[in-house]
Amino acid sequence: MDERHFGPVRFIPGVGHGRYPACHSVYIEGAGVLIDPASDRDRLQRLRDEEGVSAVWLSHWHEDHIAHLDLFEDKPLLMAAADAPPLADLETFLDWYDMDHDQYREAWRGIMLKNFHYRPRRPTGFLEAGQVLDVGGVTVEIMAAPGHTPGSLSFLFREPRVLFLVDYDLTSFGPWYGDRYSSIDTTIETVHRLRRVPALVWLTGHETGVFEQDPGELWDQYLAVIDTRQTRLEEFLAEPRTMDQIVQAWIVYGRPREPKDFYWFAEKAIIGKHLQRLDERGRLELDGERYRLK
């Protein structure tokens, strides 16, 4: 996957086509602003040393978007205030993922330090939804994109009409909404709103990365994954099931995957939001340790 230029907006692909645990980054030439420094560590080091990075912006707090933030400890850091707490403290980071199992937490402490170079950071300033900033000759509109995380941001570069969707990435996997403060319904609302933004190019944080034509049906297919997960869960709950049984059905990921500490947690996190949704709609009851549909 090659780097692409859209006026002063440069798309920097992540390793492995930007699949987790990497993401694609965006660099605003002239201004030296780098968005989501987790694409390719060697490439970002060269960018810092050869062209210069004046500031780092984060779209949200997830580890696959901050993996190489440690390369820029001396640079201003900006993000939404709502997503700042996990960056300042590793235990808070794990709390925001609702990791309530000691085994998960211990494994993830090591993963965060070794794989994602986690170091506590506090933003030097905040990006606010609705801000319109002149950055190196390009006008950037900061767009609220909650649901994925409470403070998720997307970015519209007005002159080249490029919209950076970040983790509303239109992949076949579908949306992620497995955090403590994620929301399925808010995710759906955000996707519908982003779809209406007038753009000529759409950039995403993972996989395909660059769409130079309207993604069209991909928007619908992306959201349809939510309904598919919900339907499969309801079918599985035709009989009372424990949480372990629900996770072992692999409704989200389709099959067991390794490393288990990651995928077991991720499956539980996402499917838990669907259970919460059923409960909020008065369709779920808990009989001892077993969930059943009303």
Tell me the three state secondary structure of residue 10: strand
Please tell me the CATH code under which domain 4-219 is placed: 3.60.15.10
Task: Say what the pLDDT of residue 100 is.
Answer: 84
pLDDT in tens, 214-271: 999 999 999 999 999 999 999 999 999 999 999 999 999 999 988 887 899 899 999 9
Task: Say what the pLDDT of residue 258 is.
Answer: 86
For residue 140, pLDDT over 90 is answered with: yes
Domain ranges across the chain: 4-219, 228-287
DSSP symbols for 51-112: I---EEE-S---GGGTTTGGGGTTS-EEE-GGG-HHHH-HHHHHHHTT---HHHHHHHHHHH
pTM: 0.96
pLDDT in tens, 6-56: 999 999 999 999 999 999 999 999 999 999 999 999 999 999 999 999 999
CA distance 37 to 150: 20
Task: Say what the pLDDT of residue 12 is.
Answer: 98
| Residue of 21, 117, 102 lying closest to 71 (CA atoms) | 117
Provide the pLDDT confidence category of residue 194 given band limits of 50, 70 and 90. very high
For residue 188, pLDDT over 90 is answered with: yes
pLDDT in tens, 2-19: 999 999 999 999 999 999
CA distance 96 to 53: 29
For residue 101, pLDDT over 90 is answered with: no
**What is the average per-residue pLDDT within 145-169?**
98
Q: In whole numbers, what is the pLDDT of the chain averaged over residues?
A: 96
Task: Say what the pLDDT of residue 104 is.
Answer: 85
Task: Say what the pLDDT of residue 81 is.
Answer: 98
Query: Is residue 166 within 8 Å of 205, Cβ to Cβ?
Result: yes
pLDDT in tens, 62-95: 999 999 999 999 999 999 999 999 999 999 999 9
